[in-house]
Amino acid sequence: MTVTVVFDTNALMMPVECDLRLFEELDRLVGDRRQLVPGAVLEELADLADGASEPATAARVGLDLADRCTRRETDAEYADDAVLELALTEGVEETYAVTNDRPLAERLLARDVPVISLRGENVLAITEP
């Protein structure tokens, strides 16, 4: 069964900020998957990508990684709301959201969406609702 993974902004920045091999970790956790990124997340990454700071570098890397994902537009303009909306509307397959944002993770878990987040220094784990 193919699962769906929806990425939050900080998830796509983790490879730089946390020295995480994001797609290898997802291979280990969920295997074959559809990778989706809301348009609002891409816009947020683009806004963060200016400059020479580490967050700007992480955002530019995140934009490059997002090329491996399918862009989906949502009604929500705010990235967190877009991740939640997309995770709830992506169909009958099992859908996970990837985020390290605790308030967003709590919102997702409250709506029965499993969350993939950083555990330890550079390992991802699934939190079930």
Q: Using one digit for the tens of pLDDT, what is the confidence trace for 68-104?
A: 999 999 999 999 999 999 999 876 579 999 999 999 9
- The pLDDT, as a whole number, for residue 91 is 63
Q: Which of 31, 38, 33, 30 is nearest to 12 (CA)?
A: 38
Domains and CATH numbers, the chain: 3-127 (3.40.50.1010)
DSSP 49: T
Which of 4-13, 97-106, 117-126 is the least confident region?
117-126
- The pLDDT, as a whole number, for residue 51 is 87
Q: Measure Cα distances from 62 to 6, 43, 85, 123, 129 in Å.
A: 14, 11, 21, 18, 27
- Percent share of the chain, pLDDT over 90: 88
Q: Measure Cα distances from 7 to 53, 64, 124 in Å.
A: 22, 13, 13
13 conformational bin, left if phi > 0, alpha if psi -120 to 50, beta if neither: alpha
Contact call for residues 92 and 54 (beta carbons, < 8 A): no
pLDDT tens digit sequence for 61-70: 999 999 999 9
Q: Is the pLDDT of residue 1 over 70?
A: no
Q: Which two tokens stand for residue 54?
A: 């580490």
DSSP 126: E
